[in-house]
Amino acid sequence: MFALVDCNTFYASCEQVFRPDLLGQRIVVLSNNDGCIISRNREAKEAGVPELVPYFQMREQVEKLGCHVFSSNYELYGDLSARVMRLLEDWAAEIEVYSIDEAFLRLLPGDYPQQGTDIKQMLWQQTGIPVCVGIAPTKTLSKLANRAAKKIPKFNGVCVLDTPDKWEWLLARISPKQVWGVGSRITERLQRLGINTALQLAKADQKWLRRHFSVVLERTIRELNGEPALDMDLEPAPKKEIISTRSFSYKVTELRELQQAISSYAARACEKLRRQDGLTQQLWVYLESFDRTIGYYHRQAFVQLPHLSNDTRQIAAMASTAIVPLFREGLRYKKCGIGLLDVRTTKYEQHDLFTPQQSEQSRRLMTVLDGINKRYGRQTLTLAAAGINPPWSMKRDYMSPRYTTRWTDLPVVRC
């Protein structure tokens, strides 16, 4: 049996962990640069606070409702997510971390309702994060079971679909659109064929739908009938492209600041590249602006490195140089970014006596850099070219302390 463990309103729940005074209060979390509302706890949802709406449009309403507003504290969320996933490892034969707040578990045989309840209680006790658990014989059905655990009060956060009559009861009450992997367009096409519920989809002719739709939909149908067609993805494939980009906290007008930003983003992308033991030889950099006189301004460039590399110094320097001809004096830039393209793994790197290679000294230096930043915190060591506390960096006016990742932000207990 598969279990999907999903943290409830994860970002908002993380803000409550070290603030017990917020239990029962309305909480709202904002996106990068305090732009949009991206997470609301149950109390905020019930009060009518919408999601994915610009905060400036909702500020007055949010203040009237007495909501507690927080900027995205990714350091805190990432650390609490890692703790949740580590604790789940003891409860499963295998675990697939699906996202920052979700994980699939392959459960050991036993009393499944009790296992689900124990997992839920353990995580609440050990981390303070509320979760719902959906258990079923396939990953697709466990997704639906988790949804039912969240939406239907009688399940009390744990739903087990272990017999056909149970999952068919649920499938008869939902649209195909609510099934994992079935989007709006496919749902519209299915409805034109008279398939209006997930149960009708489960009972449809698999071979016919495979010919007229895709093999993916056929697998989904098999999964809806309790036949596992999706295995655990224990080692996600390395990314072929790594993109690092972010909007500025204000409109940037100086080339020097753009070069600082692109160097900072290059360092972050290279860190991700080395984490998957990768190398790249091609970069993509771009600038974005909007001006009333010329309208939308977007320029990009592709850069070829002399050899495969994951050296932050080399890649940041090349990106910083490449952005110069893209810059246009007088424009106010809102965003820039870098992409590492055609990423390859060092496992298949071919060495050639007549072709320059990344030096062993460079590789060792990057290992030391990553080791220090992992031990003492991100950006403990960084490029001087990226600036020190640059003013263009992400705006987070409602930032909570990084309770678990920064010594100065450790909670203090007063007796």
Mean pLDDT, the chain, whole residue set: 89
How far is C-alpha 80 from the chain's CA centre? 14
Please answer whether residues 248 and 334 qualify as being in contact, where contact means their C-beta atoms are separated by less than 8 angstroms. yes
Q: Is residue 281 part of a domain?
A: yes
Q: What is the pLDDT of residues 284-340, one digit of tens each?
A: 999 998 877 778 889 999 999 988 899 999 999 999 999 999 998 888 898 999 999
What are the CA-CA distances from residue 373 to residues 268, 342, 377 (Å)? 11, 26, 5
pLDDT per residue over 153-199, tens digit each?
Answer: 889 999 999 999 999 999 999 888 889 888 888 888 888 888 888 88
Nearest CA among 130, 118, 145 for reference residue 1? 145
Q: Is the pLDDT of residue 215 over 90?
A: no
Express each pLDDT in 30-55 by its tens digit.
Answer: 998 888 999 999 999 999 999 889 99
Return the number of other C-beta atoms located less than 10 Å from residue 326's C-beta: 19
- Give me the mean pLDDT over the 357-372 stretch: 90
Give yes or no for a contact between 28 and 67, defined as CB atoms under 8 angstroms apart. Answer: yes
Distance (Å, rounded) from C-alpha 197 to C-alpha 318? 54
In contact, 39 and 26? CB cutoff 8 Å: no
Domain assignment present for residue 403? The answer is no
User: The domain spanning residue 213 has which CATH number?
Assistant: 1.10.150.20
Can you tell me the distance from the alpha carbon of 27 to that of 220, in angstroms, rounded to the nearest whole number? 36
- Residue 381 carries which DSSP code? S
Mean pLDDT of 21-26: 91
Number of domains within the chain: 3
Euclidean distance between CA atoms 261 and 124, whole angstroms: 39
Rounded to two decimals, what is the model's pTM? 0.81
Res 71: pLDDT: 93
Measured between alpha carbons, how far is residue 217 from residues 43, 58, 207, 380 in Å? Answer: 37, 39, 10, 47
Domain residues for 181?
163-224
34, two tokens: 């305090």
In the predicted model, is pLDDT for residue 82 greater than 90?
Answer: yes
Per the domain annotation, does 91 fall within a domain? yes
Check whether 238 has a pLDDT greater than 80.
Answer: no
| 207/201 Cα distance (integer angstroms) | 12
DSSP string, 89-147: GGG-SEEEEEETTEEEEEPPSS-HHHHHHHHHHHHHHHH---EEEEEESSHHHHHHHHH
In a domain, 177, yes or no: yes
Considering only residues 320 and 391, tell me which one the structure prediction assigns the higher pLDDT: 320
Question: Is 145 in the same domain as 173?
Answer: no
Mean pLDDT for 263-276 is: 92
Neighbours of 315 (CB within 10 A): 23
pLDDT exceeds 90 at position 67? yes
pLDDT score for 211:
83
Q: Which amino acid is at 56?
A: F
Q: Are residues 55 and 78 in the same domain?
A: yes
| Residue 76: per-residue pLDDT | 92
Give mean pLDDT, residues 15-40: 91
**Whether residues 46 and 128 fall in one domain:** yes
300 & 172 share domain: no
What is the pLDDT confidence band of residue 14, given thresholds at 50, 70 and 90? very high
- Say if residue 122 is in the same domain as residue 10: yes
Q: Is residue 273 one of the residues assigned to a domain?
A: yes
Find tokens 């950006």 and name the residue: 379
